[in-house]
Amino acid sequence: MRLGNLARAIFCMLGNRHTEGERSSMTLLELLGLLRKHLALVIALPVICAIVTAAVAWGFMANTYTASTSLYILTKTSTSTDSISNSDLSASQMLTNDVASLVKSDRIKTEAAKALGLSGLSGYSISVDSSTTTRVITLKVTGTDPDGAAQVANQIASTTDKIAQSVMDIQSVNVIDTATAPEKASGPNRIMYTGVAFLAGLFVAIAIVVLMDMINTRVRNEDEIAELTGLTVIGRVPAMKEGR
């Protein structure tokens, strides 16, 4: 269940309680009282979730590295003048978007992997960013090997240049910045994972506390007696210990 749906479910439970078939609202003070009564659970569950997630993230999840390269799309011009019309700019931008889609195609990946002597690029994540106002696209390749990520990015750029010229009305795809092996890891975001696990554990702990209170139908104080019977409590008789 996503955190947003879980949070909405908890708030729905907080807004409605059932005691002997009657509905009554839970106030914030009552909720705080419940949480204080089960403080050990409210603290322990989020901490355990965070510790387990952190252990998995730091102990078993490998670092990932992202290498990026910038490509400039040089289109063929049909006019002999130096002036560029709006239609030419629109056509160039459309071609740029087409090249951005071409970069992620199976043909590009297959030929790039073949050129590198690899069976495939399944171990790498490829993303392409293109602006609607320029002819520059940014290619990013993420993998567990920094040198491999840079090699794949450069090879994809080279392969894109060859294939784009053969299938599109493009003069060339020029490399602006050659990809280099990154020195620092780009992921995974272990701190974010740990924080999300802590919040998820907190939501689950609150949900458990509220559910336990909803299931418990015993009359626990004079306020609940007054609510159930509609009568006013006029006195209390303290429990007396039997003397010896």
CATH number at residue 89: 3.30.70.1130
Inside any domain, residue 235:
no
- Neighbouring CB atoms inside 10 A of 28's CB total 8
Rounded Cα distance, 123 and 135, in Å? 29
Rounded Cα distance, 86 and 64, in Å? 42
- Structural domain span for residue 111: 65-177
Inside any domain, residue 153:
yes
Q: pLDDT value at position 220?
A: 67
Q: pLDDT value at position 21?
A: 42
Together in a domain, 8 and 96: no
Together in a domain, 70 and 55: no
- pLDDT at residue 56 tops 60: yes
Inside any domain, residue 237:
no
Q: What's the average model confidence in pLDDT over 135-161?
A: 95
Inside any domain, residue 154:
yes
The pLDDT-based confidence of 195 (bands split at 50, 70, 90) is very high
Q: pLDDT value at position 213?
A: 83
Rounded Cα distance, 10 and 209, in Å? 10
Together in a domain, 86 and 141: yes
Q: pLDDT value at position 22?
A: 43
Q: Work out the mean pLDDT of the chain and round it to a whole number.
A: 82
Based on the structure, what is the number of domains in the chain? 2
CB 38 within 8 A of CB 117: no
- Please, which residues bridge with residue 174 across strands? 72
The pLDDT-based confidence of 77 (bands split at 50, 70, 90) is low
Question: When comparing pLDDT for 166 and 143, which is higher?
Answer: 143
To the nearest whole percent, how much of the chain has pLDDT over 70?
77
Rounded Cα distance, 64 and 69, in Å? 17
* Nearest alpha-carbon partner for 138 in 170, 179, 110, 181: 179
Q: What's the average model confidence in pLDDT over 90-110?
A: 86
Q: pLDDT value at position 117?
A: 95
Q: For tokens 């590198």, name the residue.
A: 116
Question: When comparing pLDDT for 236 and 98, which is higher?
Answer: 98
Query: Coil, strand, or helix at residue 127?
Result: strand
Question: When comparing pLDDT for 85 and 42, which is higher?
Answer: 42
Q: What's the average model confidence in pLDDT over 160-188?
A: 91
b/e for 201-233, b at 16 or more Cβ within 10 A?
bbbbbbbebbeebeeeeeeeeeebeeeeeeeee
Q: What's the average model confidence in pLDDT over 128-150?
A: 91
Q: pLDDT value at position 89?
A: 57
Query: Of 156, 177, 198, which residue sits at a domain end?
Result: 177
Cα atoms in the Cβ-side hemisphere of radius 13 Å centred on 137: 29
Inside any domain, residue 184:
no
Inside any domain, residue 92:
yes
Q: pLDDT value at position 23?
A: 43
Query: Of 117, 148, 177, which residue sits at a domain end?
Result: 177
Inside any domain, residue 160:
yes
Please state the pTM of the whole predicted model. 0.70
Backbone angles phi, psi at 201, to 5 degrees: -65, -35
Together in a domain, 10 and 84: no
